[in-house]
Structure 1
Amino acid sequence: MKRLVVWIAGIVATVSLVACGSTSQKQSAPAGSLLEQIKEKGVLKVGTEGTYAPYTYHDESGKLVGYDVEVAEKVAEKLGVKAEFVETEWDSIIAGLDAGRFDIIANQVGVTDERKEKYDFSTPYTYIYGALITSKDDTTTKAFSDIKGKKSANSLTSNWAEVAKSNGAEIVGVDGFQQAIELLASKRVDVTINDNVAYLDYIKQHPDAPVKVAALSEDAQETALPVVKGNDDLVAAINQALKELADEGVLTELSKKYFGDDVSQVKK
């Protein structure tokens, strides 16, 4: 009889634990889709570097500015919310998206087949051409194929590092474009590969820098806003926002403001 009582009590306890667990899971589960949550909170959280001029950086007053920053702000406005930026180093920014620290990344994230396996991307808002940058007195590096066996300064997880590797270069890791240029100017590396507009922005501010563009890529790199898969409604809303911004000429206006050229469209 005692065994029967203990057995019944055990079943009751087990059922109670399962019921409590189910209730707890329901209470902790977020309500609605990510887009609905964003609209309910009134905030679109945006991961960005804050150290990558002219895309995302701090001006003399300390304000976060840049092409990507303003694009994200305009997209947020179209969604009816406010953009809240979470500044993160590039090498950990993708992990931040995975961990839910922010909803999107606005930091010139290139659209690649590998990334598309894990993330959904908005329509591109930037078309960038790769620039092979060398010292001014370098007469041997004239094409991407010439960098085999040479040292290239690049952020380890950037698309440009992959371009350098594919052409046979040895990668020297750096935290950003300015550090890459400093290593190049001091002859500690042979080349660096980055986008052409970042180079133009740097030269505008450092006209005496002893570096030059030796070659440009034939194809453009598309950059877009990545979102963790499973949020189709958010991607659709962002795409609609970008379309409206393009149709209204806002993307062209922002491009010319920061680059003196329209980087929001493919060069014909």
Structure 2
Amino acid sequence: MIAFPALRTLLIAAMASGLSFGATRAADDFDLSPQQPGRLHAARNEAAIAAIPKEFKFVTPGKFTIAVSPGGPPLATYATDAKTVVGADPDYAYAIADSLGLTLEIVPVAWIDWPLGLASGKYDAVISNVGVTEQRKEKFDFSTYRQGLHGFFVKSDSPITSIKQPKDAAGLRIIVGAGTNQERILVKWSDEDVAAGLKPIELQYYDDEAASLLALRSGRADVIVQPHAQLVFIAARDKNIKRVGTLSAGWPDRSDVAITTRKGSGLADALTVATNGLIKDGSYAKILDHWHLSEEALPASETNPPGLPKY
């Protein structure tokens, strides 16, 4: 699962940093206002519209109804009015709706609830950082729209400048979430380092994000690894950590996140066509750049590509 901590965790982290929620909202590089004046509007894509199966029925005629979990910025969060959902995933969803000649309807949901809601027909699709896995492909169809990345971040004044491969992390004290995919990968990295005669990676675990950030800032840890998008926002907000690398959720292969639709509904191919249209005309790149997520861009969208295997 590729998911993000609840907004409560971000608030705790903000308080631990000596910041108020107002400061969190006002990270200079991110507009979390409900008006979203910078939101991009896409052109109709007749090829994508033609690819929608004739028998497909949208939940509400004329609307593209999508579920999103407002887990935290920059992907999806509640705006400063505490009710409007904004972020990279909503902006992308608006562009897809424009491409299909439809009006977007966003349904905020808890992360745990999206599979049942989608299967029962409450919405047409889920656009909420859902990673493609072989297990999920048994029940859902996917149209990829972004890479699933974790980020390596360090203190702004850290001497560490780049982490790209296992040897770069040898001997480092790295904060990671217990039971996460990034933990699984870093255990493998550490094993590779030891086999090569290098120092093992020391993995550290903390109860919440606030404690993790405090450990990093105080020098008790060298690196923090979390979902990339989440750390991009924290870096912009706190101004005291920096990115030194990214890690694919499917390491050593690429792992993607995707629009999720009901299995066999036939909508996935149309959404893939729509995404590739946005990539081709540059709209896609502008959306990711607006939310500082250009590193997560895909060269092309695919329908039901290989996903993370069952472990």
TM-score range, shorter chain: 0.5 to 0.7
The TM-score normalised by the length of structure 1 is 0.65
* CA distance in 2 between partners of 1:134 and 1:119 (Å): 37
Per-residue CA deviations over 1:8-30 (Å, capped at 9, x if unaligned) read: xxxxxxxxxxxxxxxxxxxxxxx
Unaligned 5+ segments in structure 2 are 1-52, 188-201, 300-311
**C-alpha distance in 1 between matches for 2:151 and 2:182:** 11
Equivalent residue for 1:153?
177
**SS in structure 1 opposite 2:66?**
strand
Give the equivalent residue in structure 2 for 1:224.
258
Deviations 1:79-125 (A, max 9, x none): 22222111112233233323332221111111122222221111x21
> How many Å separate the matches in 2 of 1:96 and 1:243?
27
Asked which structure has the greater RCO (Cα within 8 Å, sep 6+), the reply is 2
Which of the pair has more CA radius of gyration?
Answer: 1
How many angstroms apart in 1 are the aligned matches of 2:214 and 2:272? 43
Farther off after superposition, 194-203 or 164-173? 164-173
Identity value in percent: 18
Q: Which has the higher strand share?
A: 1
Q: Counterparts of 1:94 and 1:170 in 2: how far apart (Å)?
A: 32
2:213 alignment partner, one of 185, 208, 223: 185
Equivalent of 2:238, from 202, 206, 218? 206
Contact 2:59 2:124 in 1 (8 A): no
Greater helix fraction, Structure 1 or Structure 2: 1
- Tell me, in whole angstroms, the C-alpha distance in 2 between the residues paired with 1:146 and 1:237: 45
**Deviation of the 1:72 alpha carbon:** 0.9
**How has the CA–CA distance of structure 1 residues 213 and 91 changed in structure 2, closer, same or farther, with 3 Å as cutoff?**
farther
- Report the Cα distance in structure 1 between the residues aligned to 2:224 and 2:122, rounded to whole angstroms: 31
Q: Which residue of 2 aligns with 1:110?
A: 131
- Give the equivalent residue in structure 2 for 1:264: 297
TM-score by length of 2: 0.57
SS of match in other structure, 1:126: strand
Aligned ranges for residues 1-268 of structure 1 at < 5 Å? 36-38=56-58, 41-62=61-82, 63-122=84-143, 124-133=144-153, 152-153=176-177, 161-168=180-187, 180=209, 182-187=210-215, 193-208=225-240, 215-217=245-247, 219-232=253-266, 234-259=267-292, 261=294, 263-266=296-299
The runs of 5 or more residues in structure 1 that have no matched partner are 1-32
